[in-house]
Amino acid sequence: MGVWLVPLAFFGFLALGMPVGIAIGVAGMVGIFDMGPRFMQMAPDRVFAGLDLFPFLAMPFFILAGEIMNRSGITEGLVKLADALVGWMRGGMAHSNMVASVMFAGITGSATADAAAFGNTLVPAMEKAGYTRRYACAVTAAGSIIGPTIPPSTLMIIYGSIMGVSIAGLFAAGILPGLMICGICMIVIALTARRKNLPKGEGRPSFKAVISALREGFLAALLPIFILGSILGGFATPTEAAAIAVAYALFVGGVIYRALSWRDLYEIGVRTTRITGVIFLIIASATILGWWMTFNRVPQAIAEAMLAISQNPQVVIGLIVLLLLMIGLVMDINATLIILAPVLAPLTLKLGMDPVHAGIMIILALNISLMTPPVGACLFVLASVTGEKVEQITRELWPFILAEVAILLIIAFWADLTLFIPRLLGL
């Protein structure tokens, strides 16, 4: 059986509409079948071994904490706080969207959660204030990828677990890129505000209004600080911090805000289970495919092909970034990360890259894929929530995509900038 049958099977199943996790698993089993009966018998053990990593426990807890905070309406306080800080500028609600995405990122670590929450709340509010729906969706999509960039991030947990890289170090290294994405997007908004005639805010808020907004959003804003502080300060592991985050979210949403019913908790549990199940199915399936790739020396072949093009580390880094952006156009980013991380990480070590720096570069490149057509998850979430067409959103999104790719290149080629905070914290 030829080595090309596995990728052909994978893309063929995707073309037929099969879910990506199942397509990966079936394609991997096609490859394992060719390896022989002994390998088929070992396949179930490999699946469970791929999931049997303690740090993976942090993922469902962080997802659950974000769902609780979102369902209890606490995120509305974050939006009001962001609006008080930057809403007075021209295009103020677009700027507020970006700042709120930074705050929301520290709670959920999910781009699709950000897109869904703000698609239901901020997009209609922006449309009512005079923004076009497609522009409001584009701003929301551009800001949504801050979610899995600023910790806690499920992608960082996956990468750190499978590659043996410090998750705390990845969390610390993700802070600056996330803030840079927010900053560059706000610059894009400011540069295009007059040309697009974006609505202007009502003027600078009073000190009293800022304090009121801060009081309302304080408890929600405190959660990401608490999570990061406990992890980076060495008081808790990411898994312990995630469990504490759930307890904090339940206390704030249920006791202080009194915004959670038993039905809400049931629906939150169902949604968390579905999201976690999809991610774990992809991880388990990708474990099989990754095993087949290792057996057939696919990682070594890719590394040798890239090094054959050039021995210059800068050129190879550029090729890695290009490969990730291209594959991210057509594949789920969780699957891409699990399949390609073992392929690309050893290559980055050969180039002399720090493992944390390489991880952030890979994760950020895949995050950008969440808002790029044809399969950008955030685009489809916003389209389903708001009713806007994906192609209309994409037309307004290109300036933000180009700006965020520029940030990706800065992060990829400037290691000291990426590693500044981890080094500052001794990670």
pLDDT: which is higher, 345 or 303? 345
Q: Tens digit of pLDDT for each residue in 90-104?
A: 788 888 888 888 887
pLDDT at position 186 is 93
Average pLDDT of the segment spanning 351-365:
94
Q: What percentage of the chain has pLDDT greater than the value 90?
A: 19
Q: Quick: pLDDT tens for 40-61.
A: 777 777 777 777 777 777 778 8
4, two tokens: 């090309």
pLDDT band per the 50, 70, 90 thresholds, residue 309 = confident
5 beta partners: none
> In angstroms, rounded to a whole number, what is the distance separating the alpha carbons of residues 33 and 337?
24
Residue 400 is predicted with a pLDDT of: 94
CA distance 139 to 93: 10
The model scores a pTM over 0.85: no
**Tokens 């701003």 correspond to what residue?**
139
pLDDT band, residue 68 (cuts 50/70/90): confident
If one compares 106 and 264, the residue with the highest pLDDT of the two is 264
Q: Mean of the pLDDT values across residues 322-333? A: 81
Contact in structure between 149 and 181 (CB atoms under 8 Å): yes
Q: Cα Rg for the chain, rounded, in angstroms? A: 22
Angle at 327 between CA 103 and CA 415, to 5 degrees: 55
Type of residue numbered 91: G
3-state SS string for the chain: CCCCHHHHHHHHHHHCCCCHHHHHHHHHHHHHHHHCHHHHHHHHHHHHHHHCCHHHHHHHHHHHHHHHHHHCCCHHHHHHHHHHHHCCCECHHHHHHHHHHHHHHHHHCCHHHHHHHHHHCHHHHHHHCCCCHHHHHHHHHHHHCCCCCCCCCHHHHHHHHHHCCCHHHHHHHHHHHHHHHHHHHHHHHHHHCCCCCCCECCCCCCHHHHHHHHHHHHHHHHHHHHHHHHHHCCCCCHHHHHHHHHHHHHHHHHHHCCCCCHHHHHHHHHHHHHHHHHHHHHHHHHHHHHHHHHHCCHHHHHHHHHHHHCCCHHHHHHHHHHHHHHHHCCCCHHHHHHHHHHHHHHHHHHCCCCHHHHHHHHHHHHHHHHHCCCCCHHHHHHHHHHCCCHHHHHHHHHHHHHHHHHHHHHHHHCHHHHCHHHHHCCC
- pLDDT tens digit string along 360-374? 999 999 999 888 876
Of 252 and 320, more confident = 320
CA–CA separation, 171 and 149 (whole Å): 8
State the average pLDDT over residues 239-262: 84
Express each pLDDT in 133-188 by its tens digit. 999 999 999 998 888 898 878 889 889 988 889 888 999 999 999 999 999 999 99
Residue 392 token pair: 């209309």
Model confidence at 397, pLDDT cuts 50, 70, 90, reads: very high
Q: How much is the pLDDT for 201?
A: 67
Number of C-alpha atoms within 13 angstroms, CB side, residue 112? Answer: 16
pLDDT at 216 (0 to 100): 67
Residue 197 vs residue 357, higher pLDDT: 357
Q: What are phi and psi of 369, to 5 degrees?
A: -65, -20
In the predicted model, is pLDDT for residue 202 greater than 70? Answer: no
Degrees, nearest 5: CA angle 299-366-357:
75
Q: How confident is the model at residue 6 (pLDDT cuts 50, 70, 90)?
A: confident
pLDDT at 75: 66
What is the predicted pLDDT for the residue at 357? 96
Report pLDDT for 281: 78
For residue 87, pLDDT beyond 70: no
What does pLDDT average to over the chain?
82
**15 — pLDDT class (breaks 50, 70, 90):** confident
pLDDT at residue 290, as a whole number: 75
